[in-house]
Amino acid sequence: QVQLVESGGGLVQAGGSLRLSCAASGRTVSSYAMGWFRQAPGKEREFVATIRSGGSTYYADSAKGRFTISRDNAKNTVYLQMNSLKPEDTAVYYCAAVLLLGGGTLQRASSYDSWGQGTQVTVSS
């Protein structure tokens, strides 16, 4: 089982930037697909970005052009650089990991089997 710990959240003004980190332990995640999801109060958890073991990335439309997902396999860590933040980006951000993808897609939360505890991101207007 992979343990994931997110960090880097906080309060930022609209237009600002944050970099979230997801540190993995228990397993080397270089072969894992890693994803970022977010959940705002009263809303369902939604996909933000994913990065495959080979480095290919995919983003939600809301994240394209503003967010960048990356990984440092030497540090067993995945990052989410968030620029041009908007108040609607306010949410708890979760990191997730999966080694073997079944019939689902990486945009679905149910496809992942390891999750972090989340980090709060608040964007003020």
**71 and 79 in contact (C-beta within 8 Å)?**
yes
Residue 1 is predicted with a pLDDT of: 83
**107 and 47 in contact (C-beta within 8 Å)?**
yes
Residue 104 is predicted with a pLDDT of: 74
Q: How far apart are CA 2 and CA 115, in angstroms?
A: 8
Chain CA centroid to CA 7, Å: 11
Residue 75 is predicted with a pLDDT of: 97
**24 and 115 in contact (C-beta within 8 Å)?**
no
Q: Which residues contact 45 (CB under 8 A, 6 or more apart)?
A: 37, 38, 39, 94, 109
* pLDDT per residue rounded down to tens, the chain (125 residues): 899 999 999 999 999 999 999 999 999 999 999 999 999 999 999 999 999 999 999 999 999 999 999 999 999 999 999 999 999 999 999 999 999 876 679 999 999 999 999 999 999 99
Residue 103 is predicted with a pLDDT of: 67
Q: Which amino acid is at 94?
A: Y
